[in-house]
Amino acid sequence: MADMKFSEEHEWIRVEGGIGTVGITDYAQQQLGDVVFVEVPQAGRAVAKGEAVAVVESVKAASDIYSPVSGEVIEANAALADAPGEVNADPTGKGWFCKVKLANPGELAGLMDEAGYAAFVKTLG
Write the pLDDT tens digit of every residue in 38-78. 999 999 999 999 999 999 999 999 999 999 999 999 999 99
On whether the CB atoms of residues 65 and 38 are closer than 8 A, the answer is no
Structural domain includes residue 115:
no
Domain housing 22: 4-107
Write the pLDDT tens digit of every residue in 97-120. 999 999 999 999 999 999 999 999
| Widest pairwise Cα distance in the chain | 38
The span from the CA of 51 to the CA of 84, in Å, is 21
Structural domain includes residue 118:
no
Structural domain includes residue 68:
yes
Q: Residue 25 maps to which CATH number?
A: 2.40.50.100
Note the pTM of the prediction, 2 decimals. Answer: 0.95
Structural domain count, the chain: 1
Structural domain includes residue 88:
yes
